[in-house]
Structure 1
Amino acid sequence: MTGRAPLVVVGDVLLDRDIRGVASRLAPDAPAPVVDVTDDLSRPGGAGLAAVLAARSGREVVLITALGEDRASNRVREVLDGRVRLVELPLEGSLPVKTRVLADGRPLVRIDRGGGQVGLPDAEVGRALADAQAVLVADYGRGTAQALRPLLTDSAGRVPLVWDPHPRGGPPVPGARLVTPNAAEATALCPDGGDSLAAHARRGAELAERWGAAAVAVTLGERGVLLTRPLSEAPMLVPAPYRAVGDPCGAGDCFAAVAASALADGGLPEEAVQLAVAAAAAFVSAGGACDRDLWKTSPRSASARPAGGDAFATAASVRARGGTVVATGGCFDLLHAGHVGLLDSARRIGDCLIVCVNSDASLRRLKGPGRPLNPLEDRVRVLAALGSVDAVVAFEEDTPQALLGLLRPDVWVKGGDYSADDLPEARALRGWGGQAVVLPYLDGRSTTGIADRAARAASGARSAP
């Protein structure tokens, strides 16, 4: 486990089924296309998808939702097992199943069935929310958020709470740190004004005031996101980093999940929105919720935790554009000129730089008692503030090799005067076609040396008359 409090996702889970195929002819008995099926995927949707996306970088995630004893509920439990921790409310009835039939990537028809009554929460639900570092509510209007509304109101007063609203759901609880309606949802709630950026900005500010939210982020698809505040006339537009081509299903869940994770790590709403916009674009480009790799691969290692940006989303975004992913690693206990020079040089090699940093426990095992000098959270914030660094991710093990197997960077960079072939990571990199390289290190700079000089200076000051 990461040692940090979990992100708690609250909301309605559905079972999403996507039947994909090719339509090249019409049925003989009706003017309807015949779909020759090439793929059939059933997966958690709604709050279940949001929880999986929040957990894919290794963050501990607790999902509070209503499940029954039907086949769809059991399928959701099966897929979520090992990815998130489930805290269940009783469901009287069956879990909703949403089936899409797509031909050549385009939806032909959607079939909805099932539904039930959400029961009352128990003490375990209250404990999960009390232990949360942040809360994400995915309210699809099927009863989970309403059943927990008093508890969610209390949570909003204690920790960052992100509310992802939907047309059938209720209003967010007062005090939400961030609410994330899309343009259509915001327009339905505030219908006047048209589709201009100015109109959406006014809607966002009005909704923030109406809901008592600290900020509202109106997602605008390819145009990006407008971050607004109550009665403010100075919104911030965060454009999409590129035009993402792919199935947008689940992009809103991805946006909300990454934003909630960023707020849980201590980020500001502005930082959270910027990270979430980039992650949503990468998610769509990679195939969205229908990307089989999202469901086939093993859950991310619990020891790899996101910080200073979602490293996996950053890597996916760069790969989707055909770019080069560069990674480096170390303790970075006291950031000095040698570190900065190495990171600047590493960033120039490719299209993004991901820094893998030792956790506090890992660093202590490596460097001995008295270390780290700076806790992980501080080290990550300093690294993430550098212009050369695109994302930071921590690992608990003694080496980053397990983490590299998940990130699969194209280039692994180390500083020093040894051969790249001597690096223990080199063999793993070759396994997926990557390359380990060594860059020259600025001589005479080291954390240990700086710490020793500081200790001698402090000792001299104490002994002076």
Structure 2
Amino acid sequence: MSRSTSRPFPDFSRARILVAGDLMLDRYWTGQTERISPEAPVPVVHVDHIEDRPGGAANVALNLSALGCQVMIMGVTGADEAADSLEARLRAAAIDTRLHRRADVPTITKLRVMSHHQQLIRLDFEAPLTPLADDPLPGRLATALREVDLLVLSDYAKGTLAHPEPLIASARAQGKRVLIDPKGRDYARYRGATLLTPNRAELEAVVGHCTQDLVLLERAQRLRQELELDALLVTLGERGLLLLRPDCAPLQLPTRAREVFDVTGAGDTVIATLAAALGAGIELTEACALANCAAGLVVGKLGTATVSQHELATAYHGVAWHGLLDPAALLEAVATARARNERIVMTNGCFDILHEGHVAYLQQAKQLGDRLIVAVNDDDSVRRLKGAERPINPLAQRMAVLAGLASVDWVCPFRDDTPEALICEVKPDVLVKGGDYRPEEIAGAACVRANGGEVRTLDLLPGRSTTRIIGALRGR
């Protein structure tokens, strides 16, 4: 029986998240460039706008706040003007800010000079953050954990999280999940965390360069097992996200980005949205779908940026949950549905003149899962299969009628004589055809079975067919 898919958007205000890690200030000097300096072959920027934004772990906290979470942040800064600016902006975002200021180091600051939406140069102000012998962070964090539901460790390899083991141990001892955005080659220090979110380059720095996706998958799974992680989420850039869990098939979510303008801070947005969703009680796979959607939004913005709850809700619900889709949009919708643990059923046909038999057949098919896809032959392929006088109704009309049925979620056209290529891309959980087909005759059946799906044939209502209707109309 099909499950209901009408779900409210998560209430992120329920999530109480503690962020700890390397705090930074991202500073932007922006202006026009109209000439080259007479002193050196460099552009002269007339700075007319200065903006400070929380960066590093602070950007993760800002992302969480933008989603409406209850956020606390802990980390190390200098005792300087940059720390004042950073703290003021965090407090302005209603973030419970608990900084440890040290006079022996500057606040890590990244100064970017911008012109015409382009970064001309970045200047970094930082010094090695050598851990103190009496580091106060573990003790303070252990106490603060009592006030939250989940811990995020944002490691930028600046020194704050040089020894994360006691932080992970404190959280797990209190039954709190630990999400980590890792850095460096020593992932053993993250052992026992709930989930890690490396990008592909960071992962390959640990497991070695992977020339094939299968090699990447095998090595990532082995790493997850060695580190005793509940899950490993690999960000793949333009290819989206890959989620690996024990005893579950890998889940890949294609990117939701429409235009990539700036990838700065995209990893922060992924882990923040993931933490927000888990903190709000959302299951992991759907939390990953939300994080993937948020990443697609933030890379369309300039610099370190955040995604609001309204933006995310609008974009997430903007996935076409019903209607006419091209193949690319269909694959995106299917991936999001899978992240919601929905079962995908697929069938295909010409559906030239929709009749009672079709309606009954599609109703039966929908009962086998949560989402029913109907792939429809385009006009040229119908002519090749049925003759020059077919189709009676053009593709647009056939698809519109199918999309109007309550049992049908998505309708997608295909050009080939069979939908095998499309079926092999979608990889439905159930592939369905009418009972007049033998299993070995069903296009795409091998792909579906190889992916762990099933192939089903359904009985057709006797005496109902488009050919009979057309014959009756012509007096045959």
Asked if 2 retains the 8 angstrom alpha-carbon contact of 1:97 and 1:112, the reply is yes
For the structure 1 residues 218 and 3, does the alpha-carbon distance in structure 2 shift closer, same or farther, using more than 3 Å as the test?
closer
Asked if 1 retains the 8 angstrom alpha-carbon contact of 2:13 and 2:280, the reply is no
In the alignment, which residue of structure 2 is the partner of 1:146? 162
For the structure 1 residues 223 and 33, does the alpha-carbon distance in structure 2 shift closer, same or farther, using more than 3 Å as the test?
same
Residue 59 (structure 2) pairs with residue 59 (structure 1): no
Residue 109 (structure 2) pairs with residue 94 (structure 1): no
For the structure 1 residues 274 and 37, does the alpha-carbon distance in structure 2 shift closer, same or farther, using more than 3 Å as the test?
same
Which of 141, 165, 181 pairs up with 2:182? 165
Asked if 1 retains the 8 angstrom alpha-carbon contact of 2:26 and 2:111, the reply is yes
Residue 101 of structure 1 aligns to a residue whose secondary structure is strand
Amino acid at match of 2:56: G
Amino acid at match of 1:181: P
Which of 78, 82, 88 pairs up with 2:88? 78
* TM-score, length basis structure 1: 0.59
- The whole-number CA distance in structure 2 between the counterparts of 1:267 and 1:69 is 39
Asked if 2 retains the 8 angstrom alpha-carbon contact of 1:283 and 1:316, the reply is no
In the alignment, which residue of structure 2 is the partner of 1:277? 292
In the alignment, which residue of structure 2 is the partner of 1:235? 250
1:264-319 superposed Cα distances (whole Å, 9 cap, x missing partner): 2233321221110001111222445257xx8xxxxx9xxxxxxxxx554223678x
Displacement of 1:172 in angstroms is 5.1
Asked if 1 retains the 8 angstrom alpha-carbon contact of 2:37 and 2:43, the reply is yes
Displacement of 1:69 in angstroms is 1.5
1:242-276 superposed Cα distances (whole Å, 9 cap, x missing partner): 42332211111000000011122233321221110
Residue 274 of structure 2 aligns to a residue whose secondary structure is helix
Residue 266 (structure 2) pairs with residue 258 (structure 1): no
For the structure 1 residues 27 and 117, does the alpha-carbon distance in structure 2 shift closer, same or farther, using more than 3 Å as the test?
same
Moved more, 249-258 or 148-157: 148-157
Amino acid at match of 1:99: L
Amino acid at match of 1:268: E
- The whole-number CA distance in structure 2 between the counterparts of 1:172 and 1:127 is 22
Asked if 2 retains the 8 angstrom alpha-carbon contact of 1:251 and 1:288, the reply is no
Q: 1:231-380 maps to which residues of 2 (within 5 A)?
A: 234-290=249-305, 310-315=309-314
Residue 128 of structure 1 aligns to a residue whose secondary structure is helix
* CA-based RMSD: 3.4
For the structure 1 residues 170 and 111, does the alpha-carbon distance in structure 2 shift closer, same or farther, using more than 3 Å as the test?
farther
Displacement of 1:4 in angstroms is 5.1
Asked if 2 retains the 8 angstrom alpha-carbon contact of 1:246 and 1:287, the reply is yes
For the structure 1 residues 174 and 132, does the alpha-carbon distance in structure 2 shift closer, same or farther, using more than 3 Å as the test?
farther
- The whole-number CA distance in structure 2 between the counterparts of 1:96 and 1:85 is 20
* TM-score, length basis structure 2: 0.58
- The whole-number CA distance in structure 2 between the counterparts of 1:284 and 1:118 is 33
Asked if 2 retains the 8 angstrom alpha-carbon contact of 1:258 and 1:276, the reply is yes
Residue 227 (structure 2) pairs with residue 220 (structure 1): no
Moved more, 207-216 or 60-69: 207-216
In the alignment, which residue of structure 2 is the partner of 1:418? none
- The whole-number CA distance in structure 1 between the counterparts of 2:283 and 2:69 is 19
Residue 163 of structure 1 aligns to a residue whose secondary structure is strand
1:103-159 superposed Cα distances (whole Å, 9 cap, x missing partner): 333333221112344542265432112332011110112232235531322313512
Asked if 1 retains the 8 angstrom alpha-carbon contact of 2:257 and 2:297, the reply is no
1:31-62 superposed Cα distances (whole Å, 9 cap, x missing partner): 32333435322111000000010111221111
Amino acid at match of 2:24: L
- The whole-number CA distance in structure 2 between the counterparts of 1:68 and 1:48 is 14
- The whole-number CA distance in structure 2 between the counterparts of 1:172 and 1:58 is 31
Residue 111 of structure 2 aligns to a residue whose secondary structure is strand
For the structure 1 residues 52 and 169, does the alpha-carbon distance in structure 2 shift closer, same or farther, using more than 3 Å as the test?
farther
- The whole-number CA distance in structure 2 between the counterparts of 1:27 and 1:133 is 54
For the structure 1 residues 197 and 20, does the alpha-carbon distance in structure 2 shift closer, same or farther, using more than 3 Å as the test?
farther
Displacement of 1:169 in angstroms is 7.8
Asked if 1 retains the 8 angstrom alpha-carbon contact of 2:24 and 2:107, the reply is yes
- The whole-number CA distance in structure 2 between the counterparts of 1:242 and 1:267 is 23
Asked if 2 retains the 8 angstrom alpha-carbon contact of 1:87 and 1:125, the reply is no
Amino acid at match of 1:13: L
Asked if 1 retains the 8 angstrom alpha-carbon contact of 2:232 and 2:243, the reply is yes
Asked if 1 retains the 8 angstrom alpha-carbon contact of 2:241 and 2:254, the reply is yes
Amino acid at match of 2:217: A
- The whole-number CA distance in structure 2 between the counterparts of 1:206 and 1:178 is 14
Which of 172, 180, 183 pairs up with 1:156? 172
- The whole-number CA distance in structure 1 between the counterparts of 2:186 and 2:117 is 29
In the alignment, which residue of structure 2 is the partner of 1:179? 196
Residue 227 (structure 2) pairs with residue 211 (structure 1): yes
Which of 122, 125, 140 pairs up with 1:113? 125
- The whole-number CA distance in structure 1 between the counterparts of 2:34 and 2:216 is 41
For the structure 1 residues 246 and 45, does the alpha-carbon distance in structure 2 shift closer, same or farther, using more than 3 Å as the test?
same
- The whole-number CA distance in structure 2 between the counterparts of 1:285 and 1:265 is 26
Asked if 2 retains the 8 angstrom alpha-carbon contact of 1:96 and 1:113, the reply is yes
Which of 131, 140, 143 pairs up with 2:147? 131
Structure 2 runs not aligned, ≥5 long: 1-11, 323-369, 372-476
In the alignment, which residue of structure 2 is the partner of 1:406? none
- The whole-number CA distance in structure 2 between the counterparts of 1:169 and 1:69 is 30
- The whole-number CA distance in structure 1 between the counterparts of 2:231 and 2:13 is 29
- The whole-number CA distance in structure 1 between the counterparts of 2:189 and 2:47 is 40
- The whole-number CA distance in structure 2 between the counterparts of 1:203 and 1:15 is 35
Misfit runs of 4+, over 6 Å: none
The structure with the largest alpha-carbon Rg is 2
- The whole-number CA distance in structure 2 between the counterparts of 1:22 and 1:202 is 50
For the structure 1 residues 99 and 3, does the alpha-carbon distance in structure 2 shift closer, same or farther, using more than 3 Å as the test?
closer
Asked if 2 retains the 8 angstrom alpha-carbon contact of 1:165 and 1:172, the reply is no
For the structure 1 residues 15 and 112, does the alpha-carbon distance in structure 2 shift closer, same or farther, using more than 3 Å as the test?
same
- The whole-number CA distance in structure 2 between the counterparts of 1:221 and 1:199 is 18
Amino acid at match of 1:60: Q
For the structure 1 residues 109 and 312, does the alpha-carbon distance in structure 2 shift closer, same or farther, using more than 3 Å as the test?
same
